[in-house]
Structure 1
């Protein structure tokens, strides 16, 4: 075996890490030292993540597709995000799970490159959708501009899918080349001194995490500042705000101030949902982005003996986001929760359903809300 210093790092041929290590290098088994019950427990957890990512996101897509009332602009964007997460669960997670169990990639070089293209395409699409929704919330709450219609949402989805495909397609043809280290969970970015390779990895990491993180952080800080300013204004001058709204309704002939309750939940709840999605994206994406950069630029990190362990755990942490998103939708968005319960078979429902005439269509307090135009997810 040739020494790594004699290899040509500028070659775009498909290479394995075995060509770069010396004969004296001993690779540790990633599950060495773990007893059998713990190994079984970890596999069961990963299988649950896979099933939840597939079934949960499939339900979201089916609800938006079947119900015309669910096809608002934001819901269409959320359906696109769910579709990307569902396809990630179908085309990537099973093969990563098999590789984790067998501790070796057994699906061939060509499929490894294709799976890497799918992985980055679906991940970049999910980030793009989350960025679009964050900017839309910023425009509505801060700039008072509600310009996102279902038609524009579909156009943005088409543009985001096209951009994600263009950025990830070079991986499928080996430009830049990807590496399969011994017992790796999937094709990964490997260490090299080639500047073009470095530039591509930096571009992917900027588009995948760093730029969206900064943009979404800016939008959320602006939204929080606006909500804080509105709350202070409402608490400081409640009568003047209500009288201003009453005058617009032609109610100035009343002898006493018009009493109203101010409800900001229609803004804060939708914003809080997006903020939770952003927090999950940051917690799951930041370690994986850092790991990818270290693999490309750090010789010591890429050739360390526990590289498979690190890459496996960080990869499944990135996959975890796809499983958590449906749970967040169900928890935070009432429309999705009600639609999910309606789709559930009757023998799975433990609580009796109320008759249609007893269901409240609106909250009584909504009639007396003193606020701006509502925007509901």
Structure 2
């Protein structure tokens, strides 16, 4: 049987409980089901690939913003900070999880277990905070028509987000929360406890890391989608009335109804769509981990079930996928990012053809196409 107690006694100090951890706690309980060896090897290899992609892809984002002053807008500074948090997550957390998945034992000591748990939540909270700031900024611009975020304010908010994330994640490293050395998970996870203080902290951590940001971002994006839809309908209706007015003045009532206008709306929706995709990726990667953590803290049967190790491995792997997801989306959606990737690549690796730019002319939000041979602004 493992040395762990089923809960951390509320009257027991963190130091006393931490000393109780010994080498035997790092060994896997034979009653727990683990992944087959070939699957563990495959997952470890995939995680190494994720580390490489997450580091290189996010490093390109940071280099673009650092080397090109013209790219240091408020939104780009936020995206660079998001990329930096993903780099830190890829370097300081993912390698140890990959090794533990492969060996099925934690070989880095109990002290570093708590440090790794703190770093995990620290970088995750920072990434979530940046996504939340970006979402609120898009909401203010598109819905409220208030563009208040400049580079100086963005820098202040970045500093505040780092400080806030550190304060929320720090209790796990000093023992204010029950974090178990992974005999039943490939890295330190929130463990089952009946102590009200520990449960309260776990709820606060998960609410801060997922539920509150998810709710605010979901509300913001629903409002943005509704605003974009209403504006699109208004522009189309206005263009149709302009066309009919011109036909009436010319006395051409027998002609067919003019063609619907051809408005290039990508100037207005493409950047928002990219942020929306990041939000969807965040939700899909983090919802399973959030549910898993809550059940670990509150459900004794789930935490001590034979399938807990397999479940924890899968949800942790999925949560790390987010750090790889962002640069893939940038490469897919942002032309400048693709061009910068080609610039940073050695010439011997530039085997892909240059991506052609857009040929369709972009228009201002106040410009529409009317039913004539020429384009005019209204």
TM range (shorter): 0.7 to 0.9
Q: Could you say which residue in structure 1 is the equivalent of 2:175? A: 174
- Going from structure 1 to structure 2, the CA distance change for 1:339 and 1:177 (only over 3 Å counts) comes to same
- The yes-or-no answer on 1:296 pairing with 2:297 is yes
- Going from structure 1 to structure 2, the CA distance change for 1:117 and 1:234 (only over 3 Å counts) comes to same
Q: Could you say which residue in structure 2 is the equivalent of 1:219? A: 220
The answer (yes or no) to whether the contact 2:8–2:194 under 8 Å persists in 1 is no
What aligned pairs does 1:3-14 form with structure 2 within 5 A after superposition?
Answer: 8=9, 10-11=11-12, 12=14, 13-14=17-18
Distance 1:6 1:328 in 2: 42
- The yes-or-no answer on 1:209 pairing with 2:210 is yes
1:40 Cα deviation after fit = 3.3
- The yes-or-no answer on 1:366 pairing with 2:370 is no
Q: Could you say which residue in structure 2 is the equivalent of 1:73? A: 74
- Going from structure 1 to structure 2, the CA distance change for 1:241 and 1:176 (only over 3 Å counts) comes to farther
- Going from structure 1 to structure 2, the CA distance change for 1:193 and 1:367 (only over 3 Å counts) comes to closer
The answer (yes or no) to whether the contact 1:260–1:368 under 8 Å persists in 2 is no
1:366 Cα deviation after fit = 3.0
- Going from structure 1 to structure 2, the CA distance change for 1:188 and 1:40 (only over 3 Å counts) comes to closer
- Count of residues paired in the alignment: 344
The answer (yes or no) to whether the contact 2:331–2:338 under 8 Å persists in 1 is yes
What aligned pairs does 1:222-237 form with structure 2 within 5 A after superposition?
Answer: 222-237=223-238
Structure 1 unmatched runs, 5+: 243-258, 373-377
Q: Could you say which residue in structure 2 is the equivalent of 1:135? A: 136
The secondary structure found in structure 2 opposite 1:217 is helix
Q: Could you say which residue in structure 2 is the equivalent of 1:157? A: 158
- Going from structure 1 to structure 2, the CA distance change for 1:349 and 1:119 (only over 3 Å counts) comes to same
Q: Could you say which residue in structure 1 is the equivalent of 2:332? A: 331
1:273 Cα deviation after fit = 0.5
Greater shift in the superposed pair: 88-97 or 300-309: 300-309
What aligned pairs does 1:260-275 form with structure 2 within 5 A after superposition?
Answer: 262-275=263-276
The answer (yes or no) to whether the contact 1:10–1:193 under 8 Å persists in 2 is no
1:364 Cα deviation after fit = 6.4
The answer (yes or no) to whether the contact 2:192–2:297 under 8 Å persists in 1 is yes
Q: Could you say which residue in structure 2 is the equivalent of 1:278? A: 279
TM-score, length-scaled by structure 2: 0.83
The answer (yes or no) to whether the contact 1:59–1:340 under 8 Å persists in 2 is yes
- The yes-or-no answer on 1:27 pairing with 2:31 is yes
1:345 Cα deviation after fit = 2.0
- The yes-or-no answer on 1:63 pairing with 2:64 is yes
Greater shift in the superposed pair: 40-49 or 65-74: 40-49
Q: Could you say which residue in structure 2 is the equivalent of 1:120? A: 121
- Going from structure 1 to structure 2, the CA distance change for 1:17 and 1:212 (only over 3 Å counts) comes to farther
TM-score, length-scaled by structure 1: 0.84
Q: Could you say which residue in structure 2 is the equivalent of 1:254? A: none
Deviations 1:276-316 (A, max 9, x none): 10111000100001111111111101111221111111111
- Going from structure 1 to structure 2, the CA distance change for 1:155 and 1:368 (only over 3 Å counts) comes to closer
What aligned pairs does 1:237-256 form with structure 2 within 5 A after superposition?
Answer: 237-238=238-239
